[in-house]
Chain A
Amino acid sequence: MLLIPCPWCGKRAQTEFTYRGDATVERPDLADSDSQWYDYVYTRDNPRGEHTEWWHHTGGCRKWFKVRRNTWTHEVISSEPPVRD
């Protein structure tokens, strides 16, 4: 079981979190093309190696944040809050 570093609470057991996949995709604007929207909703890379992904501290502070993780070695490299404008 992984230890996930919540930027607010510190390292906690994986069972406290919900995983939501690729954190690099950004929601397009209404005016953007159909293909951009399809990609956003349906298409994800499945990298073997480092990956930036969304995690939710569901059983804790309920914050969403980004984790940099190696999908091959399971090494958790870093975590950060969602970028604010």
Chain B
Amino acid sequence: MGAFRNSSGGTLDRTQRIRFRFDGKQYSGFQGDTLASALLANGVRVVGRSFKYHRPRGVFGMGVEEPSAMVRLRTGARAEPNVRVTEVELFDGLEAHSQHCWPSVNFDLGAIANVMSPLLPAGFYYKTFMWPATKWMFYEHFIRKAAGLGSSATEPDPDNYSRSYEFCDVLIVGAGPAGLSAALSAASSGAKVMLVDETPDGGGRLRFDDEVINDGPADKWLNETLRELSKMPNFEFRFRTTAFGYYDQNMVVALERVSDHLPEPEPGQVRQRVLQIRAKQVVLASGSIERSIPFGYNDKPGVMLASAVRGYALKYAVACGRRAVVFTNNDSAYATVTALHSVGAQVVAVVDSRTQSPGKRALEQLGDAKLIQGSVVIKTKGLRSVQAVEIGQIADEGDSPKKSHTIRCDLVCVSGGWTPTIHLFSHAQGKLNFDDSISAFVPGADIPALHVVGSANGEFSLAACLRQGSDAGIESAKQAGYETTASVSIPTAPEESVGDMEPLWSVPRTGSRVKRFVDIQNDVTIDDIELAHTEGFVSVEHLKRYTTLGMGTDQGRTSNINGLANLARLRKAEVPEVGHTTFRPPYTPVSLGALAGVDFSEHLSPVRRTPLHQWHERNHAHLQNSGVWKRPAYYPRTGESVQDAILRETRHVREKVGITDVSSLGKIDVQGRDAAEFLERIYINRWKSLQIGRCRYGLMLREDGFVFDDGTSTRLSENEFYMTTTTANAGPVLEHMEIYAQTVWPELHVHLTSISDQWAGMALAGPFSRNVLNTVIGEQAASNENLPYMGVINARIADVPVLVFRVSFSGELGYEIHIPSRQAELVWETILAAGQEWEIAPYGLEAMTILRIEKGHVVAAELDGRTTAADLGFGRMMKPDGDYVGKRLAERSALTANGRKQLVGIKSIDSSPIPRGAQIIAEPSGGKPAQTFGQVTSACFSPHLNQEIGLALIKDGRLIYGKTMYAASPLTGREVPVEIVHHIFVDAEGERVRG
């Protein structure tokens, strides 16, 4: 095996060797490795190059905190950029590539930026490339090539993603000692408990720290606890699951990486799943993250977090170096000495910035390693990785440390203290306090139903973490309504005496060119912060944006606090005075695929199909989208052009008989003893006077006086009306009426039910339409006496009960037949069969549109929310007495004054088509700006008139019939002379529809 791996130890399955490739070279690891541990075991130190200076970078951390070791994982369509190697579980055949380096990670031309770095201070891009603004696009091209993270796949993502909605009494975030202790207590109450953890197996620090719980080894307790919990039916684990956002009322959103640990998802398996977890109580046991110390060239491969070095040694049996120096300001890093010894590495010295002595346990862990107190690592030496460190004694406040000696080493294990992971608490708008004893922000005032425990709460002793977790488990279960009956035994750990940590926010400057890195992902140095401060950036939010501190994919988990504290030092202020930047979701990057879930492509929005949809498809209708509906546009015959088909269908209705599907119309059943009164107030016209078995055209306004919708409504009985709405407004009209029925006039007894889906509709139109109807419902029933214009009857067609309305949208004799949806196709086919003698033919939306323009019927194009009833020629429908929605504001002067745009018809004078949306101008403009008098709302070729016609809204249009104006379309450069005419081109007297 690799030269840096011990032959025993760790929690690997050494029987399963796994092969993988990094930058094309073959390596191997074991089952249980991460890509990071496997690379380190193989002695791979340089994993990538930094963002700005292209300096070599290696593995720095061990998990989510990793700032620099990112790769492009997988290849082809599954390639994913910016993946932290510390979070990638090794699988057979894994392929990874280093990022932002060319031609190779060890020889990178971009590294010229490092030599040039004095020219690249903070804000360099802002200052240099801002002006002239037109050149920015040019600069940007090269900047993006030189700086920037990895590139994503360009092929469509082959994987599936899903979303699930979860509910529980207690949600615990983090399965470290505090979280597990909370889980044991909460679950013992019977409460439904869910525990999420971002790692594959939980355990937190117990996986790599040598600790004692309940007088035995901590890993024994860990395994027992996991086993015990897994047996409880009210408990659920979600591993490989990151809670990335906390939203109102305890909704936690998490990303479950279902199959990222496999080469590719199993058949039928999703890659990732977004969980929306609604929890009565949330316990936040999200732990803490070790922070770095900025010292000279602390970004080199070989400088690592002390906890990570410990973890690689104990969990993966990997020595991250052969000769190590530990650099710390607190006791926790001393455990790294024993961990390194266990994998055969040598620890040359522990450099402790404190003058006071560490605690008893730390001194035991030190063993025979040399302790250098009151000192710091000034800088590392070495070209591509650490080869030595310079040590110096801490001088007076702010002065440079004095170099004492140089130590040859290949590994620096650094610990600047620990930062509680309180992102989710911040998402919940929780206020943070600064705790001087640990020099970190911790949760402040309590938030209801949210409990923060363990090191996330600033509590670093294992005994206290276990205790806090257990207490929170009991308390959260209780608040969720579950009492813990059996006495819960709280897991115990030995109480340790620990030496106080002393903050060390940076090692003071020793030379003008020595870079001390704060944020090693974004290449932000102490000098950059000093420059930003000099230039007047005193707010942390401004500092962040100007220097890009903490703006990388790691969000500065190991570095933010160092940046803030250095700004505080420069401002001669305390850290809490300077404050902190705001944490916002997501905690870690979430793929767009996971957020989209199944809502893409044809699933992006629902599709509605009419009950006759299958018939349309079988009969080769060309279907078009009409809002969410699929509706037949026309039914082309063999060899027929689109235009020919549409014109044939239109002529067929005028000359013979046609049938079309109008099922998408909104239909509302209005019932109750005040139903007529209610409609009287919803529509502008009268309804109480409508006889049973008759229908009427109705127009409704919004409360601001403009037209909202129109449709035909029928009085089926004294207290029941069958209302129809336009297709697009089916939902909004019902909601509008519910507002008035329930909140404005609750005293009216009226009940509203949508029956749009229950009833299909078809329009039968043309001179022979009554002949067809005769054969299906009988001559007597279909006679003009029994079913006059605007009459409605009950009938049976193919033994199906139907409603037949004598209405027309086309200006021809016509009927609408409404049928229970399930029988729609039977009735439709029965009518088609009966109509064969009369050459009945189906027609689509295109022909219907031409027919309605010829008849001057308004649709959404004219009901555009800016037209009044009077504008559309319906002024006389407005009843003068009584209240109705929109009445009062329809009477305001601006809506009744002369000079408003009115609905008129237009005819093309030179036979050229009238451009839709064209503006109406008085004289040909030659393309120059001209005053507009209105606009074309609808236009078509009318086969009936053999002319190009249209509808338009034109200023005082009804006063200028016969006048010539011009329909100007600057988009197409066309100006068509048009004659202003009445908007009804066909059957203006209504003789056909009444005949």
Contact = CB atoms under 8 A, between A and B. Distances in A.
Looking at A37, A42, A54, A83, the one whose CB has the most chain B CB atoms below 10 A away is A37
Contacts of A9: none
A48 interface: no
Interface stretch (B119-127, B737-745, B860-868): B737-745
Given A30-B883, A37-B889, A74-B248, A18 B735 contact: yes
Contact of B892 (A2, A3, A34, A84): A34
A17 B888 CA distance: 30
A63 B742 contact: yes
Interface in A26-68: 27-30, 34, 37-38, 40-42, 54, 56, 58, 62-64
Nearest to B882: A30
B735 A37 contact: no
A58 B735 contact: yes
B888 A82 contact: no
Contact of B278 (A3, A28, A38, A83): A3
B887 A64 contact: no
B251 A1 contact: yes
Given A3-B278, A30-B887, A85 B742 contact: no
Interface string B237-256: 00000000001110100000
Given A2-B248, A41-B889, A82 B703 contact: no
Main secondary structure of the interface of B (DSSP, over half): mixed
B248 A1 contact: yes
Interface string B254-279: 00000000000000000000001010
A38 B739 CA distance: 19
Interface in B682-710: 703-704
A14 to B, nearest CB: 9
B747 interface: yes
Nearest to A58: B735
A74 B448 CA distance: 13
B166 to A, nearest CB: 13
Contacts of B278: 3, 13
Contact of B249 (A2, A20, A29): A2
Given A1-B247, A30-B887, A64-B742, A84 B747 contact: yes
Given A3-B278, A62-B738, A64-B742, A41 B703 contact: yes
B317 to A, nearest CB: 45
B746 interface: yes
Interface residues of A, number: 30
A64 B738 contact: yes
Nearest to A40: B703
Q: Count chain B CB atoms within 10 A of each CB in A38, A58, A64, A73 and give the residue with the most.
A: A64
A58 B251 CA distance: 22
A80 B770 CA distance: 54
Given A2-B248, A41-B703, A62-B738, A82 B746 contact: yes
Given A34-B892, A37-B888, A58-B735, A82 B742 contact: yes
Contacts of A40: 703
B249 A3 contact: yes
A30 B885 CA distance: 10
Interface residues of B, number: 22
A41 B703 CA distance: 7
Interface string B746-777: 11000000000000000000000000000000
Interface in A1-19: 1-3, 13, 18
A30 B429 CA distance: 46
Given A3-B278, A56-B735, A64-B738, A41 B704 contact: yes
B747 A85 contact: yes
Contacts of B251: 1
Nearest to B883: A30
A56 B737 CA distance: 12
Contacts of B738: 56, 62, 64
A18 B738 CA distance: 12
Contacts of B888: 28, 30, 37
Interface in B714-739: 735, 738-739
Contacts of B703: 27, 40-41
A80 to B, nearest CB: 12
A27 B739 contact: no
A82 B747 CA distance: 11
Nearest to A32: B888
Given A1-B247, A37-B888, A37-B889, A27 B744 contact: yes
Nearest to B740: A27
A74 B915 CA distance: 50
A83 B248 CA distance: 28
Given A1-B251, A2-B249, A84 B746 contact: yes
Interface in B534-555: none
Contacts of B739: 20, 54, 56, 64
Contacts of B887: 30
Nearest to B429: A73
A27 B658 CA distance: 47
Interface in B428-448: 429
A46 B425 CA distance: 28
Nearest to B884: A30
A85 B747 CA distance: 6
A62 B735 CA distance: 8
Contacts of B746: 82-85
Contacts of B429: 73
A57 B248 CA distance: 19
Contacts of B276: 1
B248 A64 contact: no
Interface in B918-968: none
28 contacts: A1-B247, A1-B249, A1-B251, A1-B276, A2-B248, A3-B278, A13-B278, A20-B739, A29-B883, A30-B887, A30-B888, A38-B889, A40-B703, A41-B703, A42-B704, A54-B739, A54-B743, A56-B739, A58-B735, A64-B739, A64-B742, A74-B249, A82-B742, A82-B743, A83-B746, A84-B747, A85-B746, A85-B747
Given A13-B278, A84-B746, 19 more contacts: A1-B247, A2-B249, A18-B735, A23-B743, A29-B883, A34-B892, A40-B703, A41-B889, A54-B743, A56-B735, A62-B738, A64-B738, A64-B739, A64-B742, A64-B743, A74-B249, A76-B249, A85-B746, A85-B747
Interface of A: 1-3, 13, 18, 20, 23, 27-30, 34, 37-38, 40-42, 54, 56, 58, 62-64, 73-74, 76, 82-85
Interface of B: 247-249, 251, 276, 278, 429, 703-704, 735, 738-739, 742-744, 746-747, 883, 887-889, 892
List the 7 closest A-B pairs by CB distance, nearest first.
Answer: A64-B742, A82-B743, A74-B248, A84-B746, A3-B249, A37-B888, A85-B747
